[in-house]
Amino acid sequence: MYPFHLWLPEAHVEASTIGSVLLASILLKLGGFGCFQFVLPATPFPTKYFLPLIEVLSCLGFFYCAIGALVQLDFKKIIAYSSVVHMHLVIFAIFSFNHKAFLGSFLLMLSHGFTSAGIFFALGSLYDRFGTRNILYLKGLVYTMPLFTSIFFLLILSNIGFPGTLNFISEILSLAGILLISKSCNLIFLFLGLLINTFYNFYFYSRLAFGNFTVALNNSSQLFSFNLDLNKNEFFVLCSLVLINVFLGFFPGLLTQTTFIWYSFLTLKLTC
């Protein structure tokens, strides 16, 4: 939560592609798992007592990190701030203490793992080709990398929670659970953060995919290479992540049935 996760964008910038994939898709979810497994069952009454503080931190962090992503030029920092934004929504949903929010937070951690892993893997392939992470130096990729821009567009749609993806189901459930306990001022911050999240994702994609070639791109030694677009391995990895996310978006019942059983055990722990 803000301000304790501001190390994350710097860590993503310094990490390799595989390190960023593991950090965003797996390690970042350990906080949510710890809340589910230890914080709620072990300290239910202090959690209820500090719930207003958690709500305020979640809303402010959600809004602040969305603004932070909007002004970044390093594309790994943009997606890193986006990861923190989604985790604030997860924390808010976890501490809403109702089944819809619990289910939404669990699905959001899972869906964000697929989406963030795909985006960081795609951005790593860009950095390997052009040697820069500055969005000012990468434009017009749709002309030289059409396969990449098509798959990356699907990942961006998933990151904003477009209908037909698991992110959409999880965000709807999370917001529905938060609506049951939250005040109107908190909801204003959440919806403003979601709007800004949609804006900077599309702005980021439009800067990469469209426009004229920049000087840095024209000077690239690989610009006229036939191997500039995705290779077979990269295409297989990205397509697998996209297809899994879309499949679970249309058939979320495969996850919700298992999650309901797990939620029953969590409720039993809280009751005891």
Backbone angles phi and psi of 74, in degrees to 5: -80, 120
Structure confidence at residue 215 (pLDDT) = 45
Task: Say if 85 falls within a structural domain.
Answer: yes
The DSSP call for residue 134 is B
Provide the residue range defining the domain that includes 149.
7-271
Structure confidence at residue 261 (pLDDT) = 52
Q: Nearest to residue 127, comparing CAs of 12, 241, 10?
A: 12
Structure confidence at residue 98 (pLDDT) = 81
Task: Say if 247 falls within a structural domain.
Answer: yes
Structure confidence at residue 194 (pLDDT) = 80
Task: Say if 244 falls within a structural domain.
Answer: yes
Q: Which amino acid is at 206?
A: S
Task: Say if 91 falls within a structural domain.
Answer: yes
Structure confidence at residue 258 (pLDDT) = 63
Task: Say if 2 falls within a structural domain.
Answer: no
Task: Say if 48 falls within a structural domain.
Answer: yes
Task: Say if 1 falls within a structural domain.
Answer: no
pTM: 0.85
Q: Nearest to residue 123, comparing CAs of 85, 90, 164, 156?
A: 156
Structure confidence at residue 262 (pLDDT) = 58
Given a cut of 50, the residues of the chain with pLDDT beneath it are 215, 218-221, 224-226
Structural domain count of the chain: 1
CA-CA distances (angstroms) from residue 102 to 17, 98, 115, 132, 155? 31, 6, 20, 39, 25
